[in-house]
Structure 1
Amino acid sequence: MASAVAQKVSSLLGGSHDTKKLGKNGPEVTALGFGCMGLSAFYGKPKPDEERYALLDHVYKSGELFWDTADMYMDNEDLLGSWFERNPGAREKIFLATKFANYMDPKTGERSVRNDPDYIRQQCDTSLQRLKTNYIDLYYMHRADKDQPIEITVKVMKELQDAGKVKYLGLSEVSADTIRRACKVAHIDAVQMEMSPFSMEVEQEGILQACRELGVAVVAYSPLGRGEDAPTPVVPAKDFEEGDFRSFAPRFNEENFHKNLELVDTLKQIADKKGCTPGQLTLAWLMNADPLIFPIPGTTRPKNFDENMGSLKVNISKEEDQEIRKAISNTEVAGGRYPEGFASTCMVDTVPLDQYNGPHKNVMG
Structure 2
Amino acid sequence: MSPSIVPPAGIATGLMRLTWAPEQTPDDQAFELMRTAIQAGSTSFNSGYFYGNAPAVTANLKLLSRFFDAHPDLVDKVYISVKGGLGEGMTPNADVDFLRNQVKEVNSILKHRKMDLFEMARVDKATGIEQTMKNLLILRDEGLFRDIGLSEVSAETIRKAAAVGPVAAVEVEYSPFALEIEENGVLATCKELGVPIIAYSPLGAGFLGANWKSKDDLPEGDMRRHFDKFSDEHFEHNMQLVRKLTSIAEKKGVTPAQLSIAWVRAQGAVPLPGSTNPERVKQAIEAGKIELSKDELDEIRKVIDSVEVKGVRYAKNPHMQAMLFG
TM-score w.r.t. structure 1 length? 0.83
2:186 corresponds to 1:212: no
Listed one character per residue, the Cα deviations across residues 67-87 of structure 1 (whole Å, up to 9, x for unaligned) are 100001010011001111211
Give me the whole-angstrom Cα distance separating, in 1, the residues matched to 2:81 and 2:196: 13
Equivalent pair of 2:7/2:42 in contact (CA under 8 Å):
no
- Which amino acid is the alignment partner of residue 63 of structure 2? L
Give me the whole-angstrom Cα distance separating, in 1, the residues matched to 2:244 and 2:127: 43
2:320 corresponds to 1:342: yes
Q: CA deviation at 1:232?
A: 6.5
Give me the whole-angstrom Cα distance separating, in 2, the residues matched to 1:231 and 1:59: 18
* Match runs of 1:300-315 below 5 Å: 300-315=276-291
* Match runs of 1:215-254 below 5 Å: 215-227=194-206, 230-231=208-209, 234-254=212-232
1:284 alignment partner in structure 2? 262
Q: 3-state SS of the aligned residue for 1:170? A: strand
Equivalent pair of 2:114/2:144 in contact (CA under 8 Å):
yes
Which of residues 294, 316, 326 in structure 2 aligns to 1:318? 294
Give me the whole-angstrom Cα distance separating, in 1, the residues matched to 2:222 and 2:133: 33
Q: CA deviation at 1:235?
A: 4.5
Q: CA deviation at 1:296?
A: 0.8
2:172 corresponds to 1:188: no
Alpha-carbon RMSD? 1.8
Give me the whole-angstrom Cα distance separating, in 1, the residues matched to 2:145 and 2:8: 16
- Which amino acid is the alignment partner of residue 281 of structure 2? F
- Which amino acid is the alignment partner of residue 331 of structure 1? V
Q: Structure 2 unaligned segments of length 5 or more: list them.
A: 53-58
Q: 3-state SS of the aligned residue for 1:68? A: strand
Give me the whole-angstrom Cα distance separating, in 2, the residues matched to 1:4 and 1:175: 30
Listed one character per residue, the Cα deviations across residues 133-153 of structure 1 (whole Å, up to 9, x for unaligned) are 442212111111222210111
2:46 alignment partner in structure 1? 68
* Match runs of 1:63-142 below 5 Å: 63-74=41-52, 75-103=59-87, 105=88, 110-142=89-121
Equivalent pair of 1:231/1:279 in contact (CA under 8 Å):
yes
* Alignment length (residue pairs): 318
Percent of aligned positions that are identical: 35
Listed one character per residue, the Cα deviations across residues 299-346 of structure 1 (whole Å, up to 9, x for unaligned) are 101221121112022101111111111111221111112233311111
2:31 corresponds to 1:53: yes
Give me the whole-angstrom Cα distance separating, in 1, the residues matched to 2:264 and 2:229: 21
Give me the whole-angstrom Cα distance separating, in 2, the residues matched to 1:232 and 1:210: 32
Q: 3-state SS of the aligned residue for 1:99? A: strand
- Which amino acid is the alignment partner of residue 270 of structure 2? F
Give me the whole-angstrom Cα distance separating, in 1, the residues matched to 2:73 and 2:140: 23
Question: CA separation of 1:232/1:337 partners in 2, compared to 1, >3 Å: closer, same or farther?
Answer: farther
Give me the whole-angstrom Cα distance separating, in 1, the residues matched to 2:195 and 2:80: 17
Deviates more, 1:177-186 or 1:237-246: 237-246
Q: CA deviation at 1:28?
A: 5.7
Give me the whole-angstrom Cα distance separating, in 1, the residues matched to 2:222 and 2:69: 29
Q: CA deviation at 1:56?
A: 2.2
- Which amino acid is the alignment partner of residue 87 of structure 1? H
Q: CA deviation at 1:243?
A: 2.5
* Match runs of 1:3-18 below 5 Å: 3-5=1-3
Q: 3-state SS of the aligned residue for 1:136? A: coil
- Which amino acid is the alignment partner of residue 209 of structure 1? A
1:327 alignment partner in structure 2? 303
Q: Deviation above 4 Å: which 4+ runs of structure 1?
A: none
- Which amino acid is the alignment partner of residue 78 of structure 1? K
Q: CA deviation at 1:214?
A: 1.2
Deviates more, 1:130-139 or 1:92-101: 130-139
Question: CA separation of 1:190/1:233 partners in 2, compared to 1, >3 Å: closer, same or farther?
Answer: farther
- Which amino acid is the alignment partner of residue 157 of structure 2? T
1:297 alignment partner in structure 2? 273
Question: CA separation of 1:219/1:144 partners in 2, compared to 1, >3 Å: closer, same or farther?
Answer: same
